[in-house]
Amino acid sequence: MVHDFTLVYELDSRMGSQEDVLRQLADSDCADTTVGWGRPRHVGLAFSREASDHDAAVTLATAQIVQALPGAVLIRVDAA
C-alpha cells in the first residue's frame, strides 16, 4: 500500500546551501522526495512510499534522512 506523508526538518546551520542539501538528498535513498523550502533552515520532504503500514513508511524515510542529512532535527510528521 502507498502512504503519503511529509517530514519537516530544521537543518543544521553547517549543512550548506539549499543546493548542497538537494545534492545530498539526490545521492541518497531519499531521491524520491519532493522538497519544499519554507522558513530559513527548514525543509519539508514529501514522500509517497510503498510499505506495509504508515508507521513503517515514516520510520524508513526518517532513518534514510538521518543518513542523508546528519544533524537535521525532525520537527513534525504530517500525514496526507
In order, the DSSP letters of 3-47 are EEEEEEEEPPTTS--HHHHHHHHHTTTTTTPEEEE-STTEEEEEE
Domain boundaries of the chain, sorted by first residue: 2-79
CATH ID of 2-79, from 3.30.70.3400, 3.40.1260.10, 3.90.1570.10, 2.40.50.140: 3.30.70.3400
Residue 14's pLDDT band, with cuts at 50, 70 and 90, is confident
Task: Please report the pLDDT score of residue 4 as a whole number.
Answer: 97
pTM summary value: 0.91
Encode pLDDT of 28-51 as tens digits.
998 889 999 989 999 999 999 999
User: Considering the chain, what is the average pLDDT of its residues?
Assistant: 94
